[in-house]
Amino acid sequence: MQKIKIIVDSPCDIPDDDLTRYGIEMVGVPINVDGKDYVERESFSCQEFYPILENATNLPTTSRVPIGVFTEKYRKNWDEGCTDIIVITMNAIGSGTHESAQMAAGLFFDDTPEAVGTLSIHIVDSMSYSLGYGYPAMRAAAKIGEGNSAEEILEYLRDIFNRIEILLVCYTLEYARRSGRITAAAAVVGGALGIRPTIAMIDGTTKITSKVRGDKKAIQNLLDSYRKRRDSPDAHVLVASAAIDEYGQELKRQLEQELGRDIKHYKIGAAITINSGPRMAALCYLGPKRERDESKQPSVITYDGITRSEIAEKTGLP
């Protein structure tokens, strides 16, 4: 009988109540704001971070979750009798946390040789951000309760990460300017004209798909983009917003009226808002399955006794 545990990093934006409901464990991403160190979701909630961000002199920076945090999680769950640990991280290209999880697996098996052959650690690169992997993590945890095996859950994750998409609209260009994603001149002109870009976040990449002028058009443009990209009206969709709750509420209202069902509304955390700004709204939904070669698939790496030196040899990690 398998005993499975899901571990995620804090940029997944899963609310505390859902972490408890599904039995998911979270590791916090370190954030530095004007020389002061914090840990996301430990030092502050999503809601508490927005004024911290708006009052910061310099753009806050994030860093990878320390290796030791993961080794402690692995040891704790091993002590509690787990046979499989599934670690789901944000896009590996955008964060070193995925590497930390891998290196921690080698350290754990170095220090706990009795776990070899009885514990498997599966590390999943979601190639996504925020609820783009937070929602699949919640569904994966629900499948544990439904009696699914680790292998079945990993197959589900491979499938959904080939379908999940995020669309977001930014109501300010200031944070894109500060993070270097657009020039200062473009931010000034765009701000003066009231430009509201819609951005697609798919397979670890971000791309501006369209632009409109004015707040009223921004929500409609986001919804129009969603209608074009979604797999079907029946496919799952989530609403998210940050500091301005009304943006998400308006999206929720229109979608519920259109689709005839309840839509869940979530809050976006630090990892996204640092770059997009706290004045934003987003949709997370399922698009058609993307067919691609094996080298571009969401990765699932399983460790069940590999040592630190073997990881270094196979992956090039230190």
Q: For the segment 112-134, what is each residue's pLDDT rounded down to a tens digit?
A: 999 998 999 999 999 999 999 99
- Could you tell me the CATH superfamily of domain 4-29+64-162+295-315? Dihydroxyacetone kinase; domain 1 (3.40.50.10440)
Residue 189: predicted pLDDT:
43
Q: Where in the chain are the domains?
A: 4-29+64-162+295-315, 164-286
pTM of the model: 0.91
Residue 313: predicted pLDDT:
65
Residue 175: predicted pLDDT:
66
164-286 CATH fold: Hypothetical Protein Tm841; Chain: A;domain 3 (3.30.1180)
Residue 177: predicted pLDDT:
63
Domain 4-29+64-162+295-315 and domain 164-286, same fold? Reply is: no
Which residue positions in the chain have pLDDT lower than 50? Answer: 184-189, 192
For the chain, the three-class secondary structure string (H helix, E strand, C coil) is CCCEEEEEEHHHCCCHHHHHHHCCEEECCEEEECCEEEEECCCECHHHHHHHHHHCCCCCEECCCCHHHHHHHHHHHHHCCCCEEEEEECCHHHCCHHHHHHHHHHHHHHHCHHHCCCCEEEEEECCCCCHHHHHHHHHHHHHHHCCCCHHHHHHHHHHHCCCEEEEEEECCCHHHHHCCCCCHHHHHHHHHHCEEEEEEEECCEEEEEEEEECHHHHHHHHHHHHHHHCCCCCCCEEEEECCCHHHHHHHHHHHHHHHCCCCCEEECCHHHHHHHCCCEEEEEEECCCCCCCHHHCCCEEEECCCCHHHHHHHHCCC
